[in-house]
Chain A
């Protein structure tokens, strides 16, 4: 069991990479999606609404299978310049995770944007800020703080969801554990070791989020802690 630790750590690195990539890309994608989703024009919010609904309403496993196994079915995809990209399980996983997390994140951000007190927006308008300036200075920073707890949950869910990468042959933490188990048939030790690594990673993320929440809410701290 001890000699499988280096291999498991390699898997852990793959897991961390997948999650970090997907979260970063997904977040960038989620901001415009959330803004479109709050739009008043049907042509703008409807497509985003459908995108979010479909990604939240189907299992991640189905999504990842459609991308990895499914896209190759079409001749058009296989002959296009995108094929080298969709041929690799690694990029398929990142692609799917990114779209999936962006759908959830967009919904979280939408809630946060709509929770920004309207008086603050009115006040910003009243002192002559333009639409973009209001967005950049008032709405987005406020929404980030409001979204943080829910987004923290999404980070953990993405970490847990990343285990599905092992179903499309990727050697992430779960994947490595499965491979070693099939070689040694020692399911207790290997799976529990992998579980421990996931728990430690979760613990670190939860800690980091607590710290971020603390940093971002100086106005809620008692004065003594502000030193």
Chain B
């Protein structure tokens, strides 16, 4: 059953690209999440409104539809703006960019809630105490908030990462040659769809297992020095 007719390298290439998309998305998604949480906790009604709209819309829409909107709609939008500015040539959003942006956008919406919860979980007195001993805003963030927010947010972010890893498979729909796309290509050539989708499934499962081990390790590390209940 494991005779892949020489398609191993194709799957490995796909898996590598899947990993790259996932990592790029998580970095951008964390930025979105931090911005979202800051906006949600800010005093400005406008910022709070934008952040609330962002999380509500993203969490209510299928990821696939969002991807299609950003890939097809976004391409058209960029095109329209470009020709509106007097541009002549044709502009294309590469699938990698559209995919990464979509996944980061979705990740960011959920991460906003995780970060908001984590920031609120830091006792207020500690922040006040830090200001009282003369720390600046940035120092309070780096020395008091960050180490604790990190620990509170890690389990939630870990779950989001696992979801993101699986969602990367959707990008195959807009023709990015990641793992799922390559499995489809190989399945089409060999007429053995079960074999290739099964292998793809195993590779995703392996990614999940490795991620869970890394997450467990980092949660333990983030918890060091905390008294056990």
> Dominant SS at the B interface?
helix
CA–CA, A59 and B169, complex, Å: 7
CA–CA, A34 and B10, complex, Å: 39
Known: A59-B166, A178-B68. A71 touches B172 (CB 8 A): no
> Dominant SS at the A interface?
helix
Q: Does A58 contact B (CB under 8 A)?
A: yes
Report which residue of B63, B68, B191, B193 has the largest number of chain A beta carbons within 10 angstroms of its beta carbon: B68
CB interface residues, A 53-73, toward B, < 8 Å: 54, 57-63, 65-66, 69-73
Known: A167-B173, A199-B57. A66 touches B167 (CB 8 A): no
CA–CA, A72 and B191, complex, Å: 10
Q: Which residues of B contact A195 (CB under 8 A)?
A: 57, 61, 65-66, 69
Q: Does A32 contact B (CB under 8 A)?
A: no
Known: A59-B204, A66-B197, A73-B194. A187 touches B69 (CB 8 A): yes
Q: Does B128 contact A (CB under 8 A)?
A: no
Nearest CB to that of A178 among chain B residues? Answer: B68
Q: Which residues of A contact B63 (CB under 8 A)?
A: 160, 163
CA–CA, A62 and B193, complex, Å: 11
The reply to whether A70 and B65 form a contact with Cβ atoms under 8 Å apart is no
Chain A contact residue count (CB 8 A cutoff): 39
Q: Does A191 contact B (CB under 8 A)?
A: yes
Report which residue of B76, B169, B184 has the largest number of chain A beta carbons within 10 angstroms of its beta carbon: B169
The reply to whether B72 and A181 form a contact with Cβ atoms under 8 Å apart is yes
Say how far B53's CB is from chain A's closest CB, in angstroms: 11
Q: Does A89 contact B (CB under 8 A)?
A: no
Say how far B80's CB is from chain A's closest CB, in angstroms: 10
The reply to whether A194 and B194 form a contact with Cβ atoms under 8 Å apart is no
Q: Does B47 contact A (CB under 8 A)?
A: no
The reply to whether A198 and B192 form a contact with Cβ atoms under 8 Å apart is no
CB interface residues, A 138-162, toward B, < 8 Å: 156, 159-162
Known: A69-B187, A162-B62, A191-B73. A58 touches B193 (CB 8 A): no
Contact of A70 among B61, B73, B197 (CB under 8 A): B197
The reply to whether A174 and B62 form a contact with Cβ atoms under 8 Å apart is yes
The reply to whether A160 and B62 form a contact with Cβ atoms under 8 Å apart is yes
The reply to whether B72 and A62 form a contact with Cβ atoms under 8 Å apart is no
CA–CA, A58 and B204, complex, Å: 6
- A-side residues, CB < 8 A to B, are 54, 57-63, 65-66, 69-74, 156, 159-164, 166-167, 174, 177-178, 181, 187-188, 191-192, 194-195, 198-199, 202-203
List 4 other contacts, CB 8 Å, given A59-B169, A59-B180, A160-B62.
A58-B166, A58-B204, A66-B201, A70-B198
- B-side residues, CB < 8 A to A, are 57, 59-66, 68-69, 72-73, 76-77, 162, 166-170, 172-173, 180, 184, 187, 191-195, 197-198, 200-201, 204-205, 208-209
The 7 closest A-B pairs by CB, nearest first: A70-B194, A163-B62, A202-B60, A187-B72, A69-B193, A59-B169, A59-B166
